[in-house]
Structure 1
């Protein structure tokens, strides 16, 4: 399910000219990658950003719990 959600985000970004994902996808294609390869790269970038957001949220929750316990 998460892979499907990441795919939807990447496709939406690749098709929206005002998004960072659109520029990233175009840049990868200009480097000589096929559209499919560029989409794979974009999906990887979306997943990395999602992971960082989830990790930072978890760290903030742990810090909040530590502050409440003290």
Structure 2
């Protein structure tokens, strides 16, 4: 069985990361950032809407 020390693990991980980064196109990164931002904003707004509705229903049924 082969054992890898930390420098070999770091080297292997760095090589894989470099290969992955070279395969990514800049347009894909921009699209991913925009979609992640839209997802975060929509999630936040939905949470605010649900919170508002819960407060409103609790006041109505008290």
Question: Which TM-score band (shorter chain)?
Answer: 0.5 to 0.7
Structure 1 segments (4+ residues) deviating >2 Å: none
**Deviation per residue, 1:8-36 (Å, 9 max, x gap):** xxxxxxxxxxxxxxxxxxxxxxxxx7111
Which structure has more relative contact order (CA 8 Å, sep 6+)? It is 1
Figure out how many residues of one structure are paired with residues of the other and give that number: 38
Structure 1 portions without partners, runs of 5+: 1-32
The Cα RMSD (Å) is 1.3
Pick from 26, 32, 36 the counterpart of residue 40 of structure 1.
Answer: 32
Larger of the two Rg values belongs to structure: 2
- Counterpart CA distance in 2 for 1:34 and 1:60 is 39
Return the TM-score normalized by structure 2.
Answer: 0.57
Unaligned runs of 5+ in 2: 1-24
Q: Deviations over 1:38-69 (max 9, x none)?
A: 11011000000000111100000000011101
